[in-house]
Amino acid sequence: MAGLSYPLVLAALSAFILALALHPVSVDAKFSKSTYFNWGGHHSSISGNGEDLQLVLDKTSGSGIQSKQAFLFGSIQMLIKLVPGNSAGTVTAYYVSSTGDRHDEIDFEFLGNVSGQPYIIHTNVFVQGNGSREQWYVDSVPIRVYRNYESQGVPFPNKQGMRVYSSLWNADNWATRGGLEKIDWNSAPFVARYRNFRARACKWNGQPSITKCAVNSPANWWTSPVYKQLSSAKQGQMKWVRDNHMIYDYCRDFKRFNGNMPPECFKPQF
């Protein structure tokens, strides 16, 4: 995934399935109205009538934003131009998260690399504070599915409102080749650029939203049967991704879990 283009990053949260999926209709929302800098705002900026965002990393600090509104189900999307050139040691993160020790989170991290090398996409899902569900994919859609097996005792992130976050930060102790490739500060500042923040999601207004956002209705488009499972074509795409580009899957890491694998690993994944 080249840092010189604007790849589409879209997180879809559903009561039935978590996946990256494009829905044709979006609700316009500007960075200037819908987000604020939660750190590093002194050297970052919002421009273009509120539609364009720039996050910066230099020796003094990285930077990040978060949405003012929390959401439960729906889709969040934005266009991201990753750090071009030698981005080794940098991480551009894009995620939705609730707060607290038992938080839910859907996490995408773009791990930088030396010039000319592709980015690695690191994804994770936290449910009630428990993560350890890492997978890495490169260059495909859909790139991650986490199916809802709550009725079978597998926790699912559908009861906590989550805000949207993005950040650019120094992670050269682990991000590139396990920390062997360090940030070249001579190339600083590092800049990630964003456009077209769009939220088409159910707003979180406390506990009543758990029921309201899950009601089957045309307004709650994520309850449509089409979002309960990937189509045959999308399943084919997912299989191709896993066969050709995935370099780590927690469900295959038996040594890590000492044989006590997470229960969802024994169920259909998509």
DSSP string of 91-149, one letter each residue: EEEEEEE--STT--EEEEEEE--STTSPPEEEEEEEBTTB----EEE-S-SS--EEE--
Mean pLDDT of 90-100: 94
Question: Would residue 105 show up in a list of annotated catalytic residues for this protein?
Answer: yes
Give the pLDDT confidence score for residue 15 in this predicted structure.
Answer: 31
Cα 201 to Cα 213: distance, rounded to the nearest angstrom = 9
Given 109, 134, 150, 264, the catalytic residue? 109
pLDDT, position 152: 94
Beta bridge partners of 75: 12, 200
Predicted TM-score of the model (pTM):
0.85
Select, from the ranges 6-20, 114-128, 177-191, the one with the highest average predicted confidence (pLDDT): 177-191
Query: Distance between CA atoms of 184 and 25, rounded to whole angstroms?
Result: 41
First to last CA, the chain: 23
Mean pLDDT of 233-254: 86
Q: How far apart are CA 7 and CA 112, in angstroms?
A: 15
Structure confidence at residue 6 (pLDDT): 34
Confidence of residue 117 (pLDDT cuts 50, 70, 90): confident
At residue 234, the pLDDT reads 84
Please state, in angstroms and rounded to a whole number, the distance separating the CA atoms of residues 64 and 38. 6
Q: What is the pLDDT of residue 31?
A: 94
The pLDDT of residue 132 is 66
Which position has the token pair 């969802």? 264
pLDDT band at residue 28 using 50, 70 and 90 as cut-offs: low
Strand partners, 197: none
- What is the arithmetic mean of pLDDT over 164-174? 96
Query: Of 51, 105, 181, 264, which residue is the catalytic one?
Result: 105
Q: How many CB atoms lie within 10 A of CB 73?
A: 22
pLDDT of amino acid 135: 57
Query: Is residue 109 flagged as an active site residue?
Result: yes
pLDDT band at 161 (very low <50, low <70, confident <90, very high): very high
DSSP 261: -
What rounded mean pLDDT belongs to the chain? 84
User: Which of the residue ranges 13-27, 156-170, 231-245 has the most confident prediction, judged by mean pLDDT?
Assistant: 156-170
d(CA 172, CA 220): 41
